Structure 1
């Protein structure tokens, strides 16, 4: 079975545990991932969480990568 697609902007992220592919309700966690639910990245890092970091698409990160040419000075 394939993993469920991870939503970028869920409507009520506080209602779900995001710690595994089960996406259980916060009050009914089945995986034993801990006693507290795992928050969604939007709760931790804000609405633009998917647009930064190592996994960010190049366009969202600001377009073309900046390359410094030492001989261009």
Structure 2
């Protein structure tokens, strides 16, 4: 059974969050000599667990000129010459 991933740990800097082992930062089992993996709360702050989940609900952002002309400004949708 997988461990439950905490949403807001009290001291995230003491643990490596890179895998399901959650090793102490000063004695990681992986032993690859790298730094510990940070918890998403440390990287993104409050609300990290819902970041990007409503991307489909947001209307596409368009410049005023493009919105008036009805032209898509996304270069990936432009045909090749």
Moved more, 24-33 or 12-21: 24-33
Distance in structure 1 (CA, Å) of the matches to 2:52 and 2:32: 25
Equivalent pairs counted in the alignment come to 57
Structure 2-normalised TM-score?
A: 0.60
Structure with higher helix content:
2
Structure 1-normalised TM-score?
A: 0.66
- In structure 2, runs of 5+ residues without a counterpart are 60-81
Give runs of aligned pairs for residues 32-47 of structure 1, distance below 5 A: 32=31, 35-47=34-46
- In structure 1, runs of 5+ residues without a counterpart are 55-60, 68-73
Query: Over the residues paired in the alignment, what is the CA RMSD in angstroms?
Result: 1.9
Deviating runs (4+, > 4 A) in structure 1?
A: none
Report the structure number with the largest CA radius of gyration. 2
